[in-house]
């Protein structure tokens, strides 16, 4: 499929999440031409959160571009309130986001003298959407594509059956159904509580001997512990799925964490009847954008190699911003929206030949672990 060149600009931002939008506003303020594209909607990652999910972070820390985030009751913003806030920022600054345009290639090429200094390294970004391909030429690319592109896999038979999902949907759909939730951190615990209160029969399988205090929002922990202790939510601690079938899941004990169910005794493999299975064990980053851009991936998390002072990667002209810098984060998240705002200042400063003062560039090593939002 051929791609026609539709624009030539200075910067292309890949990702219309909070940091991508904040960078777009900063570039607009500095009169630096840009285009911003996203494979989905504005705030795509947040849009797949379950309805009425609240942020862990305070409104002040997730606000962008100097625009206050105000909620009617001064409480932490919900998914719906934050998506409306992002739409408002886009409208206020007239940011032309190319939504539902997936980047399928990033090509390095020499300038033809149009749209930039002759001979300067340039890029051609190919996007695909609605059955057509579009080419966008630029001098710099910023990958603000996040790190939670797809749910982690269990790697067991039956994982791809239609009643198995990696996302919590509208709780109403689970009323009266037997739901097994796999996982034991924020997303799993919040799902268990919400579905229990909605009227589902909830079971929880977690590989640890008990729920981790440091991985759960503090206001959720007492309730989930109480419901599990009372047997109102059946907790299968020290287990993991071995196979998923149409009407049941086979759980096997995890070595060293063998207390299972109500008995608390070391147990053998057992069956749990289900109508739905939610595998809420975290999410991983799609590495294809980095690979096609020539960005080196390092460490166990396969995070992109970058200069922490400028956010430029080892591939000259390619920058990385937002939670994308962390690669696929494990159960202990360290990089959040709230500690990524400074990435915008660093990129703008580098593009304009300036320096920026910041508290500490060693974000990958020094940011304290917190529960995921």
pLDDT in the model for residue 311: 97
Do residue 141 and residue 185 come from a single domain?
Answer: no
Angle, helices 221-229/186-198, rounded to nearest 10 degrees? 60
139-162: string of b/e by CB count within 10 Å (b at 16+)? bbbbbbbbbbbebeebebebeeee
Q: What is the DSSP letter of 60?
A: H
Give yes or no: residues 176 and 289 share one domain. Answer: no
Q: Which residues pair with 78 in a beta bridge?
A: 54
Residue 357 has pLDDT above 80, yes or no: no
255 in any annotated domain: yes
Could you tell me whether strands 239-244 and 248-253 are parallel, antiparallel, or unpaired per DSSP bridges? antiparallel
* Cα 115-120-124 angle, rounded to 5 deg: 60
**pLDDT tens-place string over residues 284-308:** 899 999 999 999 999 988 899 999 9
Q: What span, in angstroms and rounded, lies between the C-alpha atoms of 180 and 163?
A: 11
**At a CB cut-off of 8 Å and minimum separation 6, what does 62 contact?**
18, 55, 69, 77, 82, 337, 338
Q: For residue 332, is it within any domain?
A: yes
At which of 279, 301, 328 does a domain end?
279
Residue 371 counted as domain residue:
no
Q: Which domain holds residue 235?
A: 153-279
Q: pLDDT tens across 72-124, in order?
A: 988 999 999 999 999 999 999 999 999 999 999 999 986 554 444 444 669 99
- Side-by-side strand order, sheet with 248-253: 239-244, 248-253, 270-273
The average pLDDT across 9-36 equals: 97
Same domain, 297 and 345: yes
Question: What pLDDT sits at residue 362?
Answer: 38
pLDDT category of residue 2 using cuts at 50, 70 and 90? low
Q: Are residues 9 and 97 in the same domain?
A: yes
What share of the chain has pLDDT > 70, as a percent?
A: 86
Question: What CA–CA distance (Å, rounded) separates 156 from 169?
Answer: 22
Establish if 268 belongs to a structural domain.
yes
Q: Are residues 323 and 231 in the same domain?
A: no
Choosing from 219, 245, 279, the residue where a domain stops is: 279
Residues in the chain: 373
Is residue 348 a part of any domain in this protein?
Answer: yes
Please say which residue of 249, 279, 309 terminates a domain. Answer: 279
Instruction: Measure the CA–CA gap between 58 and 74, rounded to whole angstroms.
Output: 10
Q: Are residues 122 and 181 in the same domain?
A: no
CATH number of domain containing 206: 3.50.50.60
- CA 84 to CA 175: how far, in whole Å? 28
Please determine, for residue 225, whether its predicted confidence score (pLDDT) is greater than 50.
yes
Query: Is residue 365 predicted with pLDDT exceeding 80?
Result: no
Residues 9 and 115 in one domain: yes
In the predicted structure, residue 54 carries a pLDDT above the cut 50: yes
**Residue 372 located in a structural domain:** no
Instruction: Tell whether 183 and 288 lie within a shared domain.
Output: no
Tell me, yes or no, whether 122 and 195 share the same domain: no
186 & 59 share domain: no
Per-residue model confidence (pLDDT) at position 267:
62
The answer for 127, left when phi > 0, alpha when psi is -120 to 50, beta otherwise, is: beta
Q: Is residue 195 part of a domain?
A: yes
* Average pLDDT of the chain, as a whole number: 88
Is 268's pLDDT higher than 90? no
The mean per-residue pLDDT over the stretch 189-212 comes to 96
Q: What is the CA radius of gyration of the chain?
A: 23
Shared domain for 37 and 102, answered yes or no, is yes
Residue 10 in any domain: the answer is yes
Q: Based on the structure, what is the number of domains in the chain? A: 2
What is the rounded CA–CA span in Å between residue 205 and residue 281? 11
Task: Check whether residue 233 and residue 116 sit in a common domain.
Answer: no
């Amino acid at each position: 499929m051929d791609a026609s060149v539709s624009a030539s600009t200075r910067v292309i931002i890949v990702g219309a999440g909070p940091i991508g939008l904040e960078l777009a506003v900063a570039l607009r303020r500095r009169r630096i031409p840009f285009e911003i594209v996203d494979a989905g909607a504005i705030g795509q990652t947040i849009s797949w959160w379950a309805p009425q999910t609240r942020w862990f972070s305070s409104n002040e820390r997730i606000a962008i571009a100097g625009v206050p985030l105000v909620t009617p009751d001064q409480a932490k913003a919900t998914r719906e309130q934050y998506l409306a806030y992002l739409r408002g920022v886009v409208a206020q600054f007239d940011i032309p986001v190319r939504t539902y345009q997936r980047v399928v290639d990033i090509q390095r090429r020499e300038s033809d003298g149009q749209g930039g200094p002759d001979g300067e390294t340039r890029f051609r970004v190919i996007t695909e959407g609605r059955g057509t391909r579009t080419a966008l030429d630029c001098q710099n690319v910023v990958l603000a594509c996040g790190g939670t592109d797809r749910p982690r896999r269990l790697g067991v038979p039956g994982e791809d059956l239609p009643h198995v999902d990696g996302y919590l949907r509208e709780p109403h759909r689970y009323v009266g159904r037997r739901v097994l939730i796999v996982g034991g951190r924020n997303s799993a615990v919040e799902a268990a509580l919400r579905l229990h209160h909605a009227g589902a029969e909830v079971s929880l399988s977690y590989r640890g001997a008990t729920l981790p205090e440091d991985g759960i929002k503090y206001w959720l922990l007492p309730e989930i512990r109480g419901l599990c202790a009372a047997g109102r939510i059946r907790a299968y601690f020290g287990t993991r799925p071995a196979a998923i079938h149409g009407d049941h899941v086979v759980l096997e004990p995890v070595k060293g964490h063998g207390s299972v169910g109500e008995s608390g005794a070391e147990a053998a493999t057992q069956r749990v009847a289900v109508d739905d299975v939610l595998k809420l064990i975290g999410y991983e980053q799609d590495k294809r954008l980095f690979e096609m851009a020539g960005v080196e991936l390092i460490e166990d998390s396969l995070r992109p190699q970058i200069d922490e002072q400028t956010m430029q990667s080892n591939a000259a002209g390619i920058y990385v911003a937002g939670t994308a810098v962390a690669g696929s984060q494990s159960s202990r998240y360290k990089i959040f929206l709230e500690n990524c705002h400074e990435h915008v200042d660093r990129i703008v400063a580098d593009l304009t030949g300036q320096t920026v003062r910041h508290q500490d560039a060693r974000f990958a090593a020094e940011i304290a672990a917190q529960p995921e939002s």
